[in-house]
Amino acid sequence: MIYQFYLEVGADDVTMKIMLKTILSIFSWILIYLFWVNSVSASTLYLSPGSGSINQGGTLAVQVRLNTQGEGVNAVSAYLSYPEDKLSVSYVKGGSSFAIEAENSFGGGAVKISRGSISPVSGNVTVATIGFKGKALGNATVAFIGGSAVPRASDSSDSLNLGASSGGAYKIVAQQAQQADQTAKASPTTAPKTAIQLIAEKPKISDIKVGNIGTSSATINWKTDKPADSTVDYGLEKGKYFITNSDDKLVTEHSLNLPGQILTPGTKFYFRILAKDAQGNTGQSDDMDFQLLDVKKPQSSPKSFFLDRMFVIVTILIIVGLVVVIIILKKMRKKTDKPPEAHVQGANGPEPTVFTP
């Protein structure tokens, strides 16, 4: 019976050890989840506009934007590549969100921009504006490359998801004015255009910019070489436009705000611009696109998040502590709870008999 008792105690002890190992394993995985799951890359870089036409010899202002997905960051490095035979960089201007300008270089097919801020920056912000100048006719792709990073303000770990960051695709086209000048030089006998010819010309659209991009609104800005009205056709597919916003005023500097009731957060829209002058001549831009921002997910405050973590950790520690106490009590019982001895008179004299419970 004594042997059987010790076997039972030993079996219980092994069971408790298995339970302890299981609980410790669960505790470790919970810690990994709490402190590692939030380290997944979240921030993304993108260009706005992400596509469009650049006149040969002309310049298009392209914003480098950062979406932190609600995380606080205190620095950003945006490294880009571009085809040097098709594009050149005229300038790089800083944004207002990051006050510290650490790096600002361009040339040789690469742009390197680094900005910093003493206080954390979050949301969808402008890092810088790059002026790309069209050199040769054709297509040009601008992409974010290695070296780009977005350190978190909390622990300086990199939050950038470079794979999800999007560059831009642009087309360098010939300017009509340049072509007219070249034709005039090649044919000196060509007579200058008459007033009737000038009146019959279509308004030329240039300097197209998409600004104030939000979750449900955007503003399209552009210029024309002569007074004209303002019309923007847009929709979900390139070349298939089912929504129109317009203004009949004849101006040379145009701006139209696209209604927020129609736009859906995170959706990519395509658009074209139409400009009609007083004589009815209508100019049209190439198809372009922009993407609205996604709706921010609600986030708990740092204090609430910290308290939630501490509650889980303390609860697990209490459970582990109780298991350890039970194991210690078991071991103490094994040492102190010895079976009593009794003497029974036998035929050959008194002999010890062990009683077990």
Instruction: State yes or no: pLDDT of 89 exceeds 60.
Output: yes
Render pLDDT for 131-151 as a digit per residue (tens, 0 to 9).
Answer: 999 999 999 999 999 999 999
Looking at per-residue pLDDT, the higher value among 16 and 23 belongs to 23
**What is the mean pLDDT of the segment spanning 102-112?**
91
Closest CA relative to residue 182, chosen from 57, 83, 98 = 57
Q: Give residue 300's pLDDT.
A: 42
Render pLDDT for 235-272 as a digit per residue (tens, 0 to 9).
Answer: 888 888 888 888 989 999 999 988 765 667 778 888 99
Closest CA relative to residue 218, chosen from 45, 62, 47, 48 = 48
First to last CA, the chain: 8
| Cα–Cα distance for residue pair 49/64, rounded to 1 Å | 9
Instruction: State yes or no: pLDDT of 339 exceeds 70.
Output: no
Q: Give residue 312's pLDDT.
A: 72
Count of beta carbons in the 10 Å neighbourhood of residue 42: 18
pTM over 0.95: no
Instruction: State yes or no: pLDDT of 117 exceeds 80.
Output: yes
Listed in sequence order, the residues at least 6 apart from 141 whose beta carbon sits closer than 8 Å to its beta carbon are 82, 83, 167, 168, 169, 170
Yes or no: domain 199-299 corresponds to CATH 1.10.10.10: no
Query: Confidence band (pLDDT; 50, 70, 90) for 8?
Result: very low
CATH code of 41-177, in short, is: 2.60.40.680
